Amino acid sequence: MAKSRCAAVWVVLALFAAGTARASNIDENIRNARKKVFPALVNVQPITETFQGGQKVVTGSSVGSGVIFTKEGHVLTNFHVAGHAKKVICTLGTKERIHGKVVGGDPWTDLAVLQLDLEEWKKIHPDHPLPVAELGASADLEVGETVMAMGSPLGLARTLTVGVISNTERYLGDDMKLPSGELTGLFNTWLQTDAAISPGNSGGPLVSLEGKVIGINSRAVGLGSNLGFAVPVDLVKQVVKQILDKGSVTRSTVGVRLQELRELEEHFGVDMRRGVLVAAVEPSSPAQKAGLKAGDLILSLDGKDLSARFSEELPVIYELFAQLPVDSKHVLAVLRQGKEAKIEVVTELLTQIRGDESEEQGWGLTVRDLTEAQKRQLDVADGVYVTGTRPGGPAEKAKFQEGDVIRFVDGAPTPDLEAFKKAVEETLKNKETKKVVGVKVMRDKGLYLRAVRLVE
């Protein structure tokens, strides 16, 4: 009996020792990973222009995170952190501040690339290259792997939190918006982790125990405990290549929103492994012009079968359409009311809802360029979108409203922001001889004439 009790004690001690050794190994791996990535960690302070009350406001209060990933000084961060920044101030792991600029960004995946001023670095460290973090891989990540979120949560620079991967293919929907209004999340699933991600962590790296970047932290759920999401690094690499090559990412669209099949296979009477459901068709889009309708089941694209039973499979389908050449013709096999048909569709360039914005001080208003997506949404051919008016300014007195689309100034068309700015400049130049300007504005699909008085 004594021998059996003794043996049991030894088993417990052995298990305790093994557990302690494993914990010690994890601690050591965390420390080693921190040493590899922390020097390349960046605190990002963007200087942006916002437009409020018909006026331009320069702000620089927000803080995000980033990570240096090339020896040339390129920094990865989120689009919602610095995508619209006019300039960027970066605080490195050495606690030194260096200026940066935006190389390009992609709101659809909420990614942006910055360029540090290497001359500033060389003045501080003439004999040392910039610290660089290594980009790893995300395709083979497994639920339960230990990871670290690094960044500046709540402005607290050089912070590390530890957790695990809790899901490797979380889909958050195709209608999410960034704070600046752009749509995001259409083309990617997310790495879900319980490593604490808070405001300020955005743009920082999600790091493996090997000390490699396996994701870029992007968002957290405010009402959820320990729910954070990162863009998988495999997608990051694809996006970054285009940004470094061209400054932006080019994609095609046919103008549909898709829905997973799940339990609808029996309703359609088709093989459960084939097809993706059309949930909505955008007005004036290539899909609408081709005759696609909500409720259609797309079975194939150019003869290649499509399948999306679950929501996390939808980004793959969206990406297939996105990779098609712009303005190219393709054949869709569609099932409608039990009958299969072939439909030809011509792709067009995918654009965002949000265009470039400008302040016109002489008129007391701010306007935004219309993107193709917004033209379809508003069902208007061209013009500039009014985003605000200055209290007491000429535009407010002329009863302009946010959401108006300015089509003509003094009888001349203003199809885009450049044309509108030139028209405004001309009116201000001649305001002493022509004090009132006639402006045609589209509102609620009606065209109204407004009188802008430039001189009282």
Q: DSSP alpha helices (H): ranges in 173-257?
A: 233-246
Check: CB of residue 201 under 8 Å from CB of residue 244: no
Q: What superfamily in CATH does domain 357-453 come from? A: PDZ domain (2.30.42.10)
pLDDT of residue 56: 80
Q: Where in the chain is the domain with CATH 2.40.10.120?
A: 38-246
pLDDT of residue 227: 87
The predicted model scores a pTM of: 0.84
Q: Is residue 110 annotated as a catalytic residue, yes or no? A: yes
Looking at this protein, which amino acid is placed at residue 321?
F
All CATH 2.30.42.10 domain ranges in the chain, comma separated? 252-349, 357-453
Contacts 24+ apart (CB under 8 A), 27-33: 29/146, 29/209, 29/210, 30/146, 30/148, 30/160, 30/162, 30/209, 32/211, 33/148, 33/207, 33/208, 33/209, 33/210, 33/211
* Average pLDDT score, the chain: 88
d(CA 123, CA 101): 18
pLDDT in tens, 6-65: 555 555 555 555 555 555 688 899 999 999 999 999 999 998 877 878 888 766 667 899
Task: Give the per-residue pLDDT at 214.
Answer: 98
Q: What is the pLDDT of residue 345?
A: 96
Contact present, 86 and 224 (Cβ < 8 Å): no
User: How do strand 212-220 and strand 134-135 relate by DSSP bridges?
Assistant: parallel
Tally: H helices and E strands in the chain: 10, 31
- The band of 400, judged by pLDDT with boundaries at 50, 70 and 90, is very high
Assigned CATH class of 252-349: mainly beta
Give the C-alpha separation, 232 to 192, whole Å: 10
Out of 67-71, 80-84, 374-378, pick the least confident: 374-378
CA atoms 229, 139, 149, 145: torsion sign:
positive
Q: What is the pLDDT of residue 157?
A: 84
The residue among 55 and 240 whose pLDDT is bigger is 240
Tell me the DSSP string of 24-70: HHHHHHHHHHHHHHGGGEEEEEEEEEEEETTEEEEE----EEEEE-S
Whole-number percent of the chain with pLDDT over 70: 91
Q: Which of 74, 80, 84, 330 is catalytic?
A: 80
pLDDT at position 272 is 58
- Of the listed ranges 191-195, 244-248, 272-276, the least confidently predicted one is 272-276
Q: Give the pair of three-digit tokens for residue 231.
A: 């863009």
152 neighbors 201 (Cβ within 8 angstroms):
yes
DSSP H or E run through 166 = strand 159-170
Instruction: Read off the pLDDT of residues 249-297 as tens digits, 9 standing for 90 and up.
Output: 999 999 999 988 776 666 666 555 688 999 999 888 999 999 999 999 9
For 151-178, write each residue's pLDDT tens digit: 998 888 889 999 999 999 999 888 788 8
Roughly how many angstroms between the first and final C-alpha of the chain, as a whole number? 107
Instruction: Name the catalytic one among 202, 218, 300, 307.
Output: 202
pLDDT in tens, 202-217: 999 999 999 999 999 9
Selected residue with higher pLDDT from 157 and 448: 448
Distance of CA 280 to the CA centre of its chain: 22
Give the list of residues 6+ apart from residue 50 with CB closer than 8 angstroms, or none: 56, 57, 59
Q: Report the alpha-carbon distance of residue 451 to residue 455 in Å, rounded.
A: 12
Round to whole Å and give the CA distance between 44 and 41. Answer: 10
Candidates 62, 65, 110, 194; catalytic one: 110
What value does the mean pLDDT take over residues 88-103? 93
CATH of 38-246, one of 2.40.10.120, 3.40.1410.10, 1.10.240.10, 1.10.10.60: 2.40.10.120
